[in-house]
């Protein structure tokens, strides 16, 4: 049995609830997001894009030190957006050493 953190569990709930969108193009087409998550291993361009999305949606930006593709099960995933307010709040309130908020916002 794999020992997952609460953040990973809530990301899994977001996937099941269809409240997690992955990929920079998909995130860019959203009308609202409550949390942007970017992988620490992403290129600087992707990190800058994630910060721009966080500013666009006025929401927090979370940096994942774990590979986001392992957490989401999506190959080559570097950026994701949580579109459910309650799940985003749960993810933010359970941040740990591997998932930390980089910049704020009052989207919640």
- 8 lies in a domain? no
- 107 lies in a domain? no
Q: Which helix (H) or strand (E) holds 36?
A: strand 35-39
Q: What is the pLDDT of residue 98?
A: 87
- Per DSSP, what are the bridge partners of residue 37? 62, 80
- Domain enclosing residue 67, as ranges: 19-99
- What tens digit of pLDDT does each residue of 16-42 get? 999 999 999 999 999 999 999 999 999
Q: For residues 94 and 34, is the Cβ–Cβ distance under 8 A?
A: no
Q: What is the pLDDT of residue 97?
A: 86
- State the DSSP code for 75: T
Phi-psi region of 73 (alpha: psi -120 to 50; beta: other; left: phi over 0): left
The CATH number assigned to the domain holding 72 equals 3.30.1330.30
Q: What is the distance of C-alpha 30 from the center of its chain?
A: 14
Q: What is the pLDDT of residue 2?
A: 59
Q: Give the chain's domain count.
A: 1
By DSSP bridging, strand 35-39 and strand 79-82 are antiparallel
Q: What is the pLDDT of residue 104?
A: 60
Q: What is the pLDDT of residue 4?
A: 78
Q: What is the pLDDT of residue 105?
A: 53
Low-confidence stretches of the chain (pLDDT < 70) are 1-3, 103-108
């Amino acid at each position: 049995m794999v020992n997952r953190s609460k953040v990973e569990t809530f990301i899994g709930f977001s996937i099941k609830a269809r409240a997690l969108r992955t990929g920079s193009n998909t995130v860019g087409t959203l009308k609202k997001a409550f949390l942007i998550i970017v992988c620490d291993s992403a290129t600087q361009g992707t990190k800058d894009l994630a910060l721009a999305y966080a500013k666009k949606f006025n929401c927090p930006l979370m940096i994942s030190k774990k590979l986001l593709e392992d957490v989401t099960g999506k190959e080559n995933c570097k950026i994701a957006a949580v579109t459910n307010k309650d799940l985003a709040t749960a993810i933010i309130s359970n941040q740990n050493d591997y998932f930390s908020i980089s910049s704020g916002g009052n989207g919640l």
